[in-house]
Chain A
Amino acid sequence: MAIPVTINGRQQQLDVPNEMPLLWAIREAAGLTGTKYACGVAQCGACTVHLDGQPVRACVTPTSAARGRRVTTIEGLDAKGEHPLQKAWVEEQVPQCGYCQSGQIMSAAALLAAKPSPTDADIDAAMAGNICRCGTYQRIRAAIHKAAAMKKAGTR
């Protein structure tokens, strides 16, 4: 039985077993590879997507849990790819290898949605589950602050 899920605003029927982690359904059934695998056990945050606006680790979320719900991936964060975080990420040249960055941005987007002007402590808490092996943390922090400022100034 296919599982109906709305991914990035598009209704899809995912023909996968209920227990298949949403990560693999997104990557292989829906063909959206921006969401990454790096641990499979909710340790690294590379697979972070939004489920009805809340950040979840797709690698430990069964696809059935998304039945009839809205999933947002990095590809759908902003129609033009111009979310303030995406712009700030480019501006601050955050990425090194870039592999962790979709997950970082999705975690940060959930943070900004909840707290438009996060403190450093808010950032530490919200980003604690996202590993960057290249060590871009300082720029991630700077870019989150920058995006928060952009959003506030309404310069979208």
Chain B
Amino acid sequence: MNAPVDRISSAGSDASLDRPLVVVNLSRRRFLQGMSALGGLVLAVGYPSAARAQAKKYGADGMPNGWVDSPLAFVSIAEDGTVTIVCHRSEMGQGVRTGMPMIVADELEADWKRVRVAQAPGDEKKFGNQDTDGSRSTRHFFEPMRHCGAAARTMLEAAAAERWKVPVSEVEAKNHEVVHRPTGRRAGYGSLAKAAAGQPVPARETLRLKDPKQFRYIGKGQLKLVDGRDIATGKAQYGIDTRLDGMLYAVVARPPVYGGKVASFDPAEALKVPGVQRVVQIEDSPPPAHFNPVGGVAVLARNTWAAMQGRKALKITWDDGPNASYDSSAFKTSLEESARKPGKVVRNDGDFDAAVAKAARRLDAEYYVPHLAHATMEPPAATVRIANGKCEVWGGFQSPQATRDLVAKRLGMSADDVTVHVTLLGGGFGRKSKPDYAIEAAVLSKAVDGKPVKVTWTREDDLHNSYYHTVSVEHLEAGVDAQGKPVAWLHRSVAPTIISTFNPAAKNEAPFELGMGVINVPFAIPNVRIENPEAVAHTRIGWFRSVSNIPHAFAVQSFVAELAAAAGRDPKDFLLEVIGPARQVSPETLGDTWNHGESPERYPVDTGRLRRVVETAARQAGWGRKLPKGHGLGIAGHYSFVSYIAAVVEAAVDDKGQLTIPRVDIAVDCGATVNPDRVRSQMEGACVMGVGAATLGEISFKSGRVEQDNFHAYEVTRMSGAPREIRVHIIPGDYSKPMGGVGEPGVPPIPPALCNAIFAATGKRIRRLPIRDQLKV
């Protein structure tokens, strides 16, 4: 059974006649495209406004091209019984190529040993949304993938019943065969494949889904990664590994300053380098950057090394443009100035000023988190070939459909004529959501008459021309009562917004940034004011794993610990008290209109779940246990990507100020899990990345240019700096309840938990990241 489908519409398409078609709450990207094209208008055309609210779409329904649950798109069965399951999301280490097919295979009653996984090309009409970001794959596609499997199983059962001329109620699919219960007759999936393909696809409402008790793979964790062996033997193919006949290898000299361009260049010396074939200028795209290449001069050669040598020999004069004076230390000062003045009020409960005036004591603190670069281990790389009016693209892309659309647009082709082959990603972390590198390869292929061209970014390129995590100053003030309990809370968050990459006039954090742990903090504090003073971006700001949650959680969870210390209280007990009793808080009452794109009814902020992870992490870590000299425990709990995560870090600081991290305990409540091992591995990885951001990570600018060239200057955590032991404690979930995200939410609690641990160990409070040598004595 394997039939292409032209168009499967998303939920409730049959009801579309009485449903107003209102395009709101699209994914951030589509929404942003709408914004940049239409100057900030929300697209809501020609329909009664009264209907808008109820038409607001959430979850997978709210994503571009929604979701598809047809087995025709995702499942095919060969006559030898091999089941091929399509994974339409991009694999970047989160395990999605194992997890998604596992869901289908479970409902299909397929024998995992006979399952093959095929990677979908970029084609959202066929497969539904493919933007692999926002920690969404499992929570948005758990149900559709179950439907795919169940529908295919039903078709196999129907085919068997027809063959045996028995009622379908007497047959049952079990472990890759269909059994006729009364007679024990059996037929393998392979033998039924052809007949099953002729069966109608059952209606969604008629599908019989498994009772979770019958799951054979989901939640069990016994299956190994589908790509594990290929990776361990060097066979796994990443974008950078693409090799095509007659392919040229390219590297690009890009403007060192955002908004800069080539003033003049001389290719003569570059062309003398043996192996260099062509030098091609890539047209600059003035800010806003969007997902466009920033322009520059490309050297195309017979191999990557020759291209690199050629690039060195290029003579280029840059016109640096308006960001030539961007300087990180001056910018930090300007952010601090803004943070000390009132800004746009984005949440206001009670009366902060009155309450703080009456408070027994007033405390304040300011926290700084610098720009970060994803530094995916595989730098951006893409290959394009254009032939016979068709364009093919190969590479690791988090947004295959956007890659397809934008390459088509740049080439002046129809997207139907562009095929995007998605390889494994050697890390994504949000960087590879932006397909600028694919567009570069497309422009260059076109310049050499469609010959295949692979563009490889060097590490220097990656650090110099990234879409950086923002830079922020978080200013917090609290009024506390005589017992030290906060009664008034002010948080001013100042950071250039990601929207600036699409609309340079944007100076305030967007709802999706505010909703990452600054306004939606569910504390039991009666007087809360959250402000967002303006900040101007001078570089490309982009999504970085867990995004604005990093600075917000760092500030909020550090400040709570500071208040606990000021009150002379245990930080864990104090944190629980600040969270308050278990209750369900509507994100809307917190001023959060975004809620990670999820329905506020299905996904309220549940302080009981937040409490539970804090308590679990503390208990598992042996909170209060006796520690060696120079050791300390720190705790932090944070809600993001509709999951609840708390961490207890044990920090050890020796008498020279050398930091090591013997152990971290992480409690995660992401609802029910599909592949618990990959939940663990994501927590482990997020923990290491959080440690890296806290201890080492900093991208800084001088004269508009990034100061860090490579890993010696932009350090990331190595084995010796990583926690020696990371223990992950998964709170059991219920498959009937909504799931939460996993890929990102593990990061935000780590920096504050670590700094809180350092405070416990040394009495030194870290308010500026990275820590680097701040502990040196």
Contacts and interface: CB of A to CB of B under 8 A. Distances in A.
B233 A86 contact: yes
B243 A73 contact: no
B370 interface: no
A6 interface: no
Contacts of B93: 95-98, 134
Interface of B: 91-95, 224-225, 227-229, 231-238, 240-241, 243, 249, 274, 303-305, 375-379, 424-429, 456, 458-459, 677, 681-682, 684-689, 692, 710-712, 716-720, 722-726
A43 interface: yes
Main secondary structure of the interface of B (DSSP, over half): loop
A12 B682 CA distance: 41
Contact of B375 (A86, A89, A133): A133
27 contacts: A28-B303, A29-B303, A32-B234, A39-B711, A41-B459, A43-B711, A43-B712, A46-B377, A93-B228, A93-B681, A98-B93, A99-B238, A99-B378, A99-B426, A99-B427, A105-B232, A128-B718, A130-B718, A130-B719, A133-B716, A134-B377, A134-B685, A135-B689, A135-B692, A137-B722, A138-B725, A139-B684
Interface in A93-109: 93-102, 105
Nearest to A127: B719
A98 B719 contact: no
Given A24-B303, A138-B725, A124 B377 contact: no
A31 interface: yes
Given A131-B718, A133-B427, A95 B232 contact: yes
A113 interface: no
A133 B710 contact: no
B305 A39 contact: no
Contact of B376 (A39, A75, A102, A133): A133
Contacts of B427: 97, 99, 133-134
Given A28-B304, A105-B232, A134-B685, A43 B377 contact: no
A143 B725 CA distance: 14
Interface centre among B238, B681, B717 (most CB of A within 10 A): B681
A9 to B, nearest CB: 15
A135 B229 CA distance: 19
A149 interface: no
A100 B712 contact: no
A151 interface: no
Given A28-B303, A127-B719, A138-B725, A97 B92 contact: yes
Nearest to A85: B232
Contacts of A75: 233-235
A131 B716 contact: yes
A3 B666 CA distance: 52
B550 to A, nearest CB: 15
Given A20-B305, A81-B229, A133-B427, A100 B458 contact: no
A37 B231 contact: no
A23 to B, nearest CB: 9
A57 interface: no
Nearest to A86: B232
A44 interface: yes
Contact of A135 (B238, B304, B458, B717): B717
Contact of B233 (A29, A33, A34, A36): A34
B290 to A, nearest CB: 26
A57 to B, nearest CB: 12
Interface in A15-32: 16-17, 20-21, 24, 27-29, 31-32
B224 A17 contact: no
A117 interface: no
Contacts of A140: 719
A141 interface: yes
A38 B458 CA distance: 8
B232 A81 contact: yes
Contacts of A77: 233
B378 A96 contact: no
Contact of A128 (B92, B712, B720): B720
Nearest to B691: A135
Given A97-B428, A134-B93, 8 more contacts: A16-B305, A20-B305, A38-B426, A41-B712, A74-B234, A98-B426, A123-B719, A133-B427
Contacts of A118: none
Contact of A136 (B238, B426, B681): B681
A99 B719 contact: no
Contacts of A35: 234
B237 to A, nearest CB: 7
Contacts of B458: 40
A90 interface: yes
A33 B243 CA distance: 9
A132 interface: yes
A37 B307 CA distance: 15
A101 B225 CA distance: 14
A133 B693 CA distance: 11
A125 to B, nearest CB: 9
Contacts of A100: 377, 426
Contacts of B459: 38-41
A136 B427 CA distance: 12
Which of A94, A96, A136 counts the most chain B CB atoms within 10 A? Answer: A96
A123 B720 CA distance: 10
Contacts of B228: 89-90, 93, 95
A133 B429 CA distance: 10
B681 A17 contact: no
Contacts of B379: 37-38
B688 A137 contact: yes
A73 B234 contact: yes
B305 A95 contact: no
Nearest to A100: B377
Contact of B685 (A24, A120, A131, A136): A136
Contact of A131 (B238, B243, B711): B711
A100 B687 CA distance: 18
A22 B9 CA distance: 51
A33 B241 contact: yes
A135 B722 contact: yes
A17 B424 contact: no
